[in-house]
Structure 1
Amino acid sequence: MVGRLKGWKRLAADRRKSVFLTLIFSYMIILLLPVTIGGIFYTRIEAIMIENANNSNTAMLEQVKRTMDSRMKEIDQLTQQIAFHPKLLKMFNPRGDGYAQQNLSSFIDFMGDMSRYSSVNSFIDDFYVYFNNSDIVLSPKMKTDSYTLYENIYHYQNLTYEQFKEQILLPYHARFFYPSKEMAVGLSQTKRMVTFVQSLPIGERDRVDGAFVILINENQITEMLASQGMRDETVFILDADGTVLMRTAGDAQESGEISSYLKELGDGLSGKESLAYTGVGMGKGQGVEKDMMVTYTTSNQNGWTYVSIIPKAVVLSQVNAVKMWAITVVLLCLAGGGAVCYYMAYRHYRPIRDLVHAVARGGGADSTGVFPKNEFELIREKVHTLFEKEKNLETTLSRHLLVVRTEFLSRLIRGHVDAAALTERDLQFMNVHFESGLFAVLLIDIDDFSQFSEQNTEREWALMRFILSNLSVELLEHKGYLIELERDRIAILVNLPTGNSRDTRMGTFVDKLKDMMDKRFKTKISISVSDVHEGIECIQECYNESVFAMAYKMIKGQNSVLYYEEVRKFGQPTYYYPMEMESQLMNVARSGDYANVEIILNRIYEVNFQSGGITPEMGKCLFFDLLSSLLKLSGSLNIDQNLVFSGESDPVRIISECATAEQMVDRIKRLYRRLCEAVQEDRTGHGEQLYRKMTDYIQEHFHDGMLSLTTMADHFDMNASYLSAFFKNYSGRNVSNYLTEIRLNTCKRLLAESTQTVSEIARQVGYASNIGLTRMFKKAEGITPGQYREAMKHESG
């Protein structure tokens, strides 16, 4: 008996040790599990911090972009006010005869008006107008010349006076921004300025009478960036060509690296407002490689790109501090948690130990009931927790049920769901209920709602889809499910009652829906209806039939109803356009007889689209064939295609952009009419007469500095592009080249035969100053007019 009792005690001791170790290991695992999970999630802190910094930089850059766009609009408004000021236009050409009369009184009057236009834009430091012919500079505060302006007022430290004139004042510029450069302002002040230049008059590329210049203070932009919280970042502003207009820090080499970096990313960043990149090596030219975070955004107004660069180390400095605190807290938690685990394991082991002792003593131990109470408490708490989780799960599912069901129905009608494997439980989970096995699919296209709303925004499209969805559900008495497929297309999966394979309610629904959308909401819609099929697995077939029927909208036009059972009978295997008819069409067009051309085109259209059935694909092929005949005919007649296609480089696009057959035949008729007009013009003697009139007009007015393609078009009452195409097609050279040749020959004759100065000769041949003449002469002859005169003297001597 004694030996048996000792054996029970030894067994109890072994069990006590194993149970205690199991409990303490369990508690340690419970302790380490959240610590491990927290450590895993903690590794994401760096990415989260970078993402937050990127979002913050993006928001600040967006604010900077909006502010800059607003300032640029003010600059554009100031430019328009000055450029189209009546007094300025009068000083350039007061009488309309090509000669500008400028005197002190007109300058003073205009300066007084300019002072009233002084902008409240804090970015603008100053602005002035430059006159090419007189080399005069006018600002709201002064009148001077370009040399005095350059030397004493605004001295560009990186440009000579000649470069200042050649690069900024004299060339043609349209809203040109010269990058920020150091500039000596007055005698003692230095500023960094961005120079805005607009040639005057606006839009006259071949005639530059002057320039409107605005000086933008970079310090004001930098202060604006700092006021919006961008102090640690380096900000670059690049124009649409990738040129760095200004930067808040860094050197020119780093600016070039940033510009090249964005160009290299190019296609990968297409269509993105901003994106963060880490691990970008910057500052390599200085022997230092840093990891930077780059954020950028592009303005839709002027194409400028705003780039923010911040060292990754700045962002991660906070992360490193948090890491140290986290490691300290984790160590303290592990130490305290270990002690708590030991205590809890020992506490819960005590009832088990008493039970083991009781078994060892033959079951005589006193039962206190503590252990069962703890077990039931644990079970009660566990069950309560499970009930709470289940309730939360049901709440979450109910919130997302509509999105889940819409996605399920979208995949179901497209055939991306194994319909045969669907069970009633699956459908109940998706909150989808089918009363029968008969199905049909309707497609609704929103063709035109311009009478309902003039705006064409995503908000208006969403509102129209909402209206259409609510009307459809109400008219179908909740017997259908709606799926939004595209911006202008909605699909309806209809579940028909049993025994009605051809439910008349479908037609009633279509008629009521079209009538209500037309009368109440002024909206044109097209509806295609599939046949009725039985079985969930046939829903994809219904959808395909509806899509096939909707394609015939090209034939029947917009705002139509298309039933698959009607359109499937159409579709002849080819179209009617025999070689004899093509030959007849080309012969009539070759003679310039558009009346008969229109008769033939109407006959082709009636035979293929009105008298017989033709598929949309075959219809497009027919119009491409008609376009091919036109291209072959224009090529054989040597007619400039610009006269026929109005400068369109891709004639196929003319047909591809049409939505209906009526639009396509109208485009084809218009092209053939232009061809016939060109043929008739070539057949008459008008072409040569017109060309001689043009050359005579140029001979008589080449000395006029205002002579241009636009003035010639106004004189002959013609379109400028047509006049240019006609002159080049007839003579083989441009109007501008012919005008330059006449002026050059006259200039050479005057240089050889007269003693007039180069400036006097320049005015006689149509140039406002000797600068324009010298540039043209050197480009054509390789030497200046003065060198040419000296060479002619040596030859004659």
Structure 2
Amino acid sequence: SFQWLMENNEELEEERNRLRAEKCLYELLRQDIQEGDELWKSCLENGIYVNRRYKFFVIVPQDSERNQEICEFFNKQMSGSSITTAYPLALFEEARVYLICSDETRIELEQKRDRCSKMGADIGIGELCMDISRIRQSYREASRALRSLDKTGKGYPEVEMNAFREAVELGDTLRADVLLEGLFDTIKEVKETAAVCILWDMLRMAELDPELLFEEEKDGLVKSADRWKERIREALSCRKEQERPQQAEAAGGYRKKNIVDVLTYIHEHYLEDNFSVKYMASEFETSVSNLSHFFKKNQGMSISQYVENIKMDRARELLEESDRKVSEIARLLRYGSSTVFIEVFKKQTGMTPGAYREQIRKQDF
């Protein structure tokens, strides 16, 4: 029992530190910061080195496997030395947002950014700023740069809108507020038709009547954007206050926010025939979207990726410790066929299950 408590205390402490650091990153996008102020001190206390020479934001979409590889490459590029750190921010499901703090030279940083750009990714990069008070501007520039790469010509920020919807559904007010600011920056820059579509959808998400947009609009959408922003912010705040009593009543049985419960459930049920993310969502009384976002935010990977990792760990154990045939292991781990299992295993380890078993046995001898 003591060992269990110690392990859980360590997990809770790590989670607390991660959440504190993430809160600082969100606050950097919500409010201005000056050297020596409270937010500055909080960032440093939580390991975000805003006192380094250069600070800037980068946004990398994850709409393809290729871009996910570039994300990993970029993260290594920007965290490969003790004087440069990339801080990931879970703002979107479909994109990675990084704050980069570095004491490298401007030339070195620009060379690293260029390497990533040449790999073929559509990356939004903000200004390299020495003045910490311009950090929010760097994020806006990164967002603007990414929007300029939109080849559809629609002007509708689908990634940001999906993230805003999830934040509202989850009651994640800090994240919703950051996204709200960014979306209204977009409204001021896109064509009137796209701006109306964006605001219409935001009003619906905030449970406001979108028809008000046409009844009250007189000065033009861009001029009245700040007024609409405050109305949506107030509506979300009221909604949060109304939900608190219900959440308090249900606190005893509310499991959605407990990552330990989710992980336990996966480890106990991942080999069952009816196991799926949809089935899990119903068990935890939430939506597939909410559960998927919550899991990725906590674990840094999707549920399917996590399950695949568990299966591969189990496969290695069975190959090392038993004489089961590859086909039997594939069936045990619920793969459709031996061929699928072999392909997945090879992709993860760089060798076939048979070659892996042979290598392990040679090492034993």
Larger radius of gyration: 1
Q: TM-score, normalised by structure 2?
A: 0.36
TM-score w.r.t. the length of structure 1 is 0.18
* Structure with the largest fraction of helix: 2
